[in-house]
Amino acid sequence: MQNIQIRTIEEKDNAAIANVIRGTLEEFGANHPGTVYYDSVTGALFQLFQQTPRSVYFIAEKDGEVVGGGGIYPTDGLPDDTCELVKMYLLPQVRGIGLGRGLIQRCIEFAKEAGYKNIYLETMPELKQALKTYEKLGFTYLDKPMGNSGHHGCELWMNGKVEELMRVSQSHHWLSNKINFDRI
């Protein structure tokens, strides 16, 4: 059984989570312009989320090592009742154990608590496993992007209603006995 903790981002996590994000995009050949790979804030996520109301970024940590993360952000140009699921990335050694779904569930819970009704996301066809996860959770594809994320390199857009996402995510036992999932 693996011991993994999910907690909110701290300043000391900036470099590690930037490496996870950029390394994952490189791994899948998705490190192209118009993605988070080139965002100037990727190395300063603590500061970005700290200064932005109604946002959160969660870090997944295994044995003291940052192994992934994901968050909720009120992206410019989105309706007031809609947030964006952002910067969801995991290292290879923690994929396939339900951790991604666990992170997303924490994000959905935060979105509900913050008063959001919809969660939007942008992604790429290279991230096939993530697409399957989003679909299973109840996200549906959109014909065009929403808001002004600046990520013109993301070719796929999805949206989900918070209440439906909560219902689906709570109806599954995502993490079974594969990991000890501590929530801090």
Spell out the per-residue pLDDT of the chain, length 184, in tens.
Answer: 468 999 999 999 999 999 999 999 999 998 988 889 998 899 999 999 999 999 999 999 999 999 999 999 999 999 999 999 999 999 999 999 989 999 999 999 999 999 999 999 999 888 888 999 999 999 999 999 998 887 787 889 999 999 999 999 887 655 444 455 555 4
Q: Residues 124, 130, 134, 136: is their CA dihedral positive or negative?
A: positive
Helix, strand, coil share of the chain (percent; to 5): 35, 30, 35
Structure tokens at 117: 């009704």
Task: Tell which residue, 72, 70, 76, 81, has the closest CA to residue 6.
Answer: 70
pTM: 0.91
- Helix 99-113, helix 128-137: angle, nearest 10: 50
Q: Which fold has domain 2-183?
A: Aminopeptidase (3.40.630)
Domain boundaries, the chain: 2-183
